[in-house]
Amino acid sequence: MSSPLPNATDFLPGPVLLLGAPGVGKGTQAKLLMEEFNIPQISTGDLLRGNREQRTTLGMMAEELMTKGLLVPDDLVNEMVSERLALPDTEHGYILDGFPRTLNQAEWLDTKLVAYMLPVVAINIAVPEKVLLERITGRRMCPVCGTIYNIYTQPPKSECICDADATKLVQRADDTEEVFHERMNSFRQKTSAVIEYYRSHGNRFAEVDGDRPVHEVTKSIRATLLKLRHHPEN
């Protein structure tokens, strides 16, 4: 088992951005980092939902746009993120989830963090597209116990039947090849520019191989984060 990085009292992870195409495992790795360093995950999806539920001024503005089928503009999302970053639980760092999604958001975030001690470091989790396709389109779930299988990499003992309770497995509506390619196209059009933005800041960017067991990817991310934070230019 890998040795953990120093805890938050010895090592400040600071703002961490996990990048990668749909299905690379960003959510899984974010949860592991959160647990290790006791830092929050800041999700723009959660911020939008929270502001709408609490009927904040920003939330009502976003809801009005979304009701009309319009996208929430960067300026509005940035403002929500700015308010969240001001909360005390972000002192040692945080994991960014779904933000920055565009080049404008990435540039805004760098400007926002100028006054802070640590800039964002970005770690791109790279997985071949063929592997991602199998990960997503091969997913099957038991509607009773919630166990998730993959027909390519972790199939049930009996085809389409849950090992635990013999219930017929189901495929989520958005786990189809068509939806996968739509999400990949959207990723290339928007988020790939964010990856290149951070790649151009070499001392704040690194790539890890995500086509490995979860614990090995975690170990690589830990080592990469430590290296990026100890870079003399940071």
pLDDT, tens digit, 9 for 90 and up, residues 103-129: 899 999 999 887 666 789 999 999 999
135 as an active site residue: the answer is no
26 as an active site residue: the answer is yes
Is the pLDDT at 182 greater than 50? The verdict is yes
Classify residue 176: in a domain, yes or no: no
139 as an active site residue: the answer is yes
pLDDT of residue 22: 87
Residue 162 CA to chain centroid, in angstroms?
29
Percentage of the chain with pLDDT > 90? 66
pLDDT, tens digit, 9 for 90 and up, residues 20-42: 998 898 888 998 999 989 999 99
Cα distances from 137 to residues 7, 164, 177, in angstroms, run: 38, 22, 6
Tell me the pLDDT of the chain averaged across its residues: 88
pLDDT of residue 98: 80
Classify residue 133: in a domain, yes or no: no
Catalytic residue among 101, 135, 140, 229: 101
Overall number of domains in the chain:
1
Catalytic residue among 183, 199, 212, 219: 183
DSSP state of 67: H
pLDDT of residue 102: 87
pLDDT of residue 56: 93
pLDDT of residue 34: 92
pLDDT of residue 187: 87
Is the pLDDT at 87 greater than 70? The verdict is yes
Classify residue 66: in a domain, yes or no: yes
CATH number, domain at 77? 3.40.50.300
More confident residue, 10 or 134: 134
pLDDT of residue 191: 85
101 as an active site residue: the answer is yes
Catalytic residue among 26, 84, 140, 229: 26
Count other C-beta atoms under 10 Å from residue 134's C-beta: 17
Catalytic residue among 49, 168, 172, 227: 172
Average pLDDT score over residue span 218-229: 92
Distance in angstroms (rounded) separating the CA atoms of residues 154 and 167: 17
Classify residue 164: in a domain, yes or no: no
Interhelix angle for 191-199 vs 177-189, to 10°?
A: 50
52 as an active site residue: the answer is no
Determine which of 64-73, 136-145, 205-214, 216-225 has the lowest per-residue pLDDT on average.
Answer: 64-73
Classify residue 169: in a domain, yes or no: no
pLDDT, tens digit, 9 for 90 and up, residues 125-141: 999 999 999 999 999 99
pLDDT of residue 45: 86
Classify residue 75: in a domain, yes or no: yes
Helix (H/G/I), strand (E/B), else coil: 201: coil
Is the pLDDT at 202 greater than 90? The verdict is no
- What residues does 209 pair with on adjacent strands? 126
pLDDT of residue 2: 42
Domain of residue 57: give its range.
Answer: 14-128+202-229
Catalytic residue among 84, 135, 139, 229: 139
pLDDT of residue 10: 61
Classify residue 98: in a domain, yes or no: yes
Is the pLDDT at 1 greater than 50? The verdict is no
Is the pLDDT at 144 greater than 90? The verdict is yes
Tell me the pTM. Answer: 0.81
Classify residue 87: in a domain, yes or no: yes
Query: In degrees to the nearest 10, what's the CA dihedral of 82, 110, 74, 125?
Result: -110
